[in-house]
Structure 1
Amino acid sequence: MHDTLTLSAYLILAATLLVAYVIFGIAGFGSALIASPVMALYLPLSQIVPLLALLDLCAAIINVSRDGRNAAWPELRRLVPLMVAGSLVGATILLTTRPEILLLALGVFVIGYALWSLIGRKPAHAFPPAAVVPFGLVGGVFSALFGSGGFIYAIWLGGRLPQKEAFRITQTTIIGLSTLTRVIIFAVAGVYMDWHLLLLALTLLPGMIIGITLGRFFTLKMSREQFLRMINLILLASGVMLVGRYFG
């Protein structure tokens, strides 16, 4: 339990969160990819999910307050309603069936897309606006099922936005809106009435802030090609993690 964590455990968690939020600061998603496996050594999943939701929301708010003017709001207006609809579908699937096979399918798809992009097989044209429908719905479904929809939105935005900063802050805004829903649900359910959980979040907050600040700094130093390569490497790692979760 987190109220009995040793000093060394706190330091490991803080270092892990710092690295995770460097990734979040660069890509606008992916913090759970880095943080969850390490946090699971010290905390139960029932605490990791609401803790990361709270930190992700704080990170998104900080990033949007800094760079929100660069967000592609037309893309958000297209995507967000579909994300909400997909989340409702995902919640229904979660309650009525066993969705593990979907986890494998998503992992294989993301790995394939990332490898295809990394070897230079990129589409000649941007995604048409109508393509937002499957990306928005599928991203919402997998966000509700597994808390893993960010990289679906990243694929969509990567095929729509030529500017890396617009991609980063738009992705961050999407994750912030998605996470806000989860935070509200956890709050209504009384999860955040546990003051030990809130204290742990407060203790880890500096690592998150330093991480997203470093991520933003690194992004400004990257070329668009370097940025997209980083995004595709994160996508590849996400896909491998999903497949690993399925077989695990």
Structure 2
Amino acid sequence: MLEHLQWIDLIVIGVGLTIAYIIFGITGFGTALIASPLLAFFIPVDKIVPLLALLDCSAAITNVMRDRKSAVMSEIKRLVPLMIIGSLLGAAILLYTNPDNLLIYLAIFVIAYALYSLSGFKPNTQFTVKASVPFGFIGGIFSALFGSGGFIYAIYLSGRISDKNDIRVTQSTLIGLSTFTRILIFLAAGVYTDWSFLSMALALFPAMIIGVFIGRRITLALSRESFLRIINLVILVSGISLLIRAVI
């Protein structure tokens, strides 16, 4: 893939990925919102998800390694089994049914939640432990169906954890586990045996590192209110993107 790109193409991709991973560095998710449409102009669509899986997993490891003590393991232990069960159900739905209607309902829910949170009318309450069941399960389902589950976990974690850095690192840990599973699947399928594919990932690795570093620095400077506002804006854009995808 790399040999078919001009240097100006690589610059555009690099800048776009840096911005995408600044968002990831701040929120712990959301890369695909910016990166996928941009990459579709330059590389085959079927290569985008495997490529982003490699970069997202690396970005998650970068986030977690720096601040691993900030990950709230109790929440991870609650969500991961539900995420796995939901992913299995999501894969079955994808194989045997038409999931398009589910995408519309998810998009409407996500947009409504984000607008409600951004409105300022959100009460100062937290989700209970029981909320991990629907959020973990549904997040797993939609991760398998559409590759879009990070914002579901973000809704739950922002309603459970008070410290903004703990939210970011816990979110990154979940995304890392999710993308690592995808990498294993792609590896078994032989996707990563193509050296041109791996060389493309290596060429884009610096953009990911720079973006995550900048995003982390921004997060440390933000108040919790500003941090949650950014998360809800990313969630809103996610919902709008899903809705567009569902109706087109």
Per the shorter chain, which TM-score range?
Answer: over 0.9
Of 100-109 and 198-207, deviating more is: 100-109
Q: Look up the match of 2:145.
A: 145
Aligned equivalents of 1:137, 1:215: Cα separation in 2: 28
Q: How far does residue 212 in structure 1 lie from its aligned partner after superposition?
A: 0.2
Q: Look up the match of 2:46.
A: 46
Q: Look up the match of 2:82.
A: 82
How many residue pairs were aligned?
A: 248
| Conservation of the 8 A alpha-carbon contact between 2:2 and 2:199 | no
Question: What pairs up with 1:53-132 in 2 under 5 angstroms?
Answer: 53-132=53-132
Q: How far does residue 124 in structure 1 lie from its aligned partner after superposition?
A: 3.6
Q: Look up the match of 2:242.
A: 242
Q: Aligned with 1:142: secondary structure?
A: helix
Aligned equivalents of 2:2, 2:208: Cα separation in 1: 18
Q: How far does residue 57 in structure 1 lie from its aligned partner after superposition?
A: 0.4
Q: Look up the match of 2:190.
A: 190
Specify every segment of 5 or more residues in structure 2 that has no aligned partner in the other structure, as ranges.
Answer: none
| Conservation of the 8 A alpha-carbon contact between 1:127 and 1:160 | yes
Aligned equivalents of 2:176, 2:155: Cα separation in 1: 17
Q: Look up the match of 2:26.
A: 26
Question: What pairs up with 1:163-174 in 2 under 5 angstroms?
Answer: 163-174=163-174
Aligned equivalents of 1:92, 1:123: Cα separation in 2: 37
Q: Look up the match of 2:212.
A: 212
Q: How far does residue 121 in structure 1 lie from its aligned partner after superposition?
A: 2.4
Q: How far does residue 120 in structure 1 lie from its aligned partner after superposition?
A: 1.2
Q: Look up the match of 2:233.
A: 233
Query: TM-score w.r.t. structure 2 length?
Result: 0.98
Aligned equivalents of 2:100, 2:43: Cα separation in 1: 23
Q: How far does residue 2 in structure 1 lie from its aligned partner after superposition?
A: 4.2
Q: Aligned with 2:51: secondary structure?
A: helix
Aligned equivalents of 1:132, 1:180: Cα separation in 2: 22
Question: Structure 1 residues 3 and 101 mapped into 2: Cα distance closer, same or farther (>3 Å)?
Answer: farther
Aligned equivalents of 1:45, 1:103: Cα separation in 2: 20
1:189-242 alpha-carbon deviations (Å, 9 max, x no partner): 000001111000000000000000000000000000000000000000000100
Report the residue type matching 2:227 in the other structure. F
Query: TM-score w.r.t. structure 1 length?
Result: 0.98
Aligned equivalents of 1:38, 1:213: Cα separation in 2: 21
Q: Look up the match of 1:17.
A: 17
| Conservation of the 8 A alpha-carbon contact between 1:2 and 1:42 | no
Q: CA RMSD in A?
A: 0.8
